[in-house]
Structure 1
Amino acid sequence: MPLYEFRCEECGVFDVWRSMAESSSPAHCPECNEQGRRVFSPPMTLSRSQVAKAVSSEPKMVKVDREPKTSNVQYHSGSRPWMVGH
């Protein structure tokens, strides 16, 4: 469910989690219980420069302290490969 902003004339802005079907109906203020009107705010988006900055940044170096364990995979050369380890 999305989070919607509403404005009460006396108390100010408050947020309400609602389904999209109920998005246009007024909400009651949690402080004074008066009906509040929905405030339309722009969605949070990234600009092209913010995306380019995130893509161009270098990845962090990760150091492995020990060698990885050897694999316990068993290979089967018979006619029934689904019966590996049986």
Structure 2
Amino acid sequence: MPLYEFRCEECGVFDVWRPMAESSNPAHCPECDRRGNRIFSPPMTLSRTVRMKKVSSEPELVKRDLEPKTPRVQYHSGSRPWMVGH
């Protein structure tokens, strides 16, 4: 089940786990039990949480030297050239 954010006029933002079929229905605030309306926020993905935890504003250096070298041409042995790599 997805986690949706709702806003209560009195208490502020709160989260509710609910099925997608009920995503547009209003939810009741856990503090004051008033009706809260759903607010839209960007999804929290793993890459977003990792970026948020980084302290440095410098870009990460990636080196291509560490990647394995793969041949551009595959050679076959035998009389069946359509079975390359089998």
1:22 aligns with 2:38: no
Q: Distance in 2 between matches of 1:8 and 1:43?
A: 20
Secondary structure at 1:44 match in 2: coil
TM-score (norm 1): 0.52
Which protein has the larger Cα radius of gyration, Structure 1 or Structure 2?
1
Gaps of 5+ in 2: 52-59, 67-86
Q: Could you tell me how far apart the structure 2 residues matched to 1:10 and 1:29 are?
A: 9
Q: Which runs of 5+ in 1 are unaligned?
A: 59-86
Runs of 4+ residues over 2 Å off in structure 1 = 44-47
TM-score scaled to structure 2, two decimals?
0.52
Number of aligned positions between the proteins? 54
Say what the alpha-carbon RMSD is for the aligned residues: 2.9
Could you tell me the percent identity over the aligned residues?
75
